[in-house]
Chains A and B, each alone.
Chain A
Amino acid sequence: AQSVSQHNHHVILSEAASLELGCNYSYGGTVNLFWYVQYPGQHLQLLLKYFSGDPLVKGIKGFEAEFIKSKFSFNLRKPSVQWSDTAEYFCAAYSSSGTYKYIFGTGTRLKVLA
């Protein structure tokens, strides 16, 4: 069955620490991958996306993610987090060869201490 797994449910970091959030997917066929961010009290916004090409994808606000096909992973990274990065982060997958369904991971709640 298609699925997206995020293994870190809660992460607490100090400002300037490095961040890596894990995301693994289980999908057949061609898959498009996304990271979304939800700041407190707001709706989800796109951070970055991978469709094809360079597996290292750069997004907004200094975030990047690496697609590793052999590991079915799409981990999110940021070298130095800021207090304003406190939010919930969702990994998502979309199969362009299947039905029009996205699957979201359960989210990782990040708290950055000032």
Chain B
Amino acid sequence: NAGVTQTPKFQVLKTGQSMTLQCAQDMNHNSMYWYRQDPGMGLRLIYYSASEGTTDKGEVPNGYNVSRLNKREFSLRLESAAPSQTSVYFCATVLYEQYFGPGTRLTVT
């Protein structure tokens, strides 16, 4: 079992470009989360999905959209990237504890 996978691992964007971060899980969990991690700020929740077909805003949703395509996949979209979105993005599934993907390191220039 792969657990939680994320693509891409690294990405560089120019300001204003768009992209979608992909997350997939084979753990059959209902809940999936997207976080961003910045130095000194811990993990901040961007969006989460308690089950297939539902999504909710977290602490820092501005500038992002999500899609829960099916139970396995939960994607995060940046419509118009900004330098403030330079960060490491983690996807996680939740069944009491959290299971994290390997992360996507995004740089916006």
**Which positions in A face B, CB cutoff 8 Å?**
9, 32, 34, 36, 42-46, 49, 51, 90, 92, 94, 99-102, 104-107
Contact = CB atoms under 8 A, between A and B. Distances in A.
B31 A100 contact: yes
Contacts of A105: 42
Given A9-B40, A32-B96, A107-B42, A102 B33 contact: yes
A102 B45 contact: yes
B43 A104 contact: yes
B97 A34 contact: yes
Nearest to A103: B45
A1 B102 CA distance: 30
Contacts of A9: 40
B94 A43 contact: no
A100 B94 contact: yes
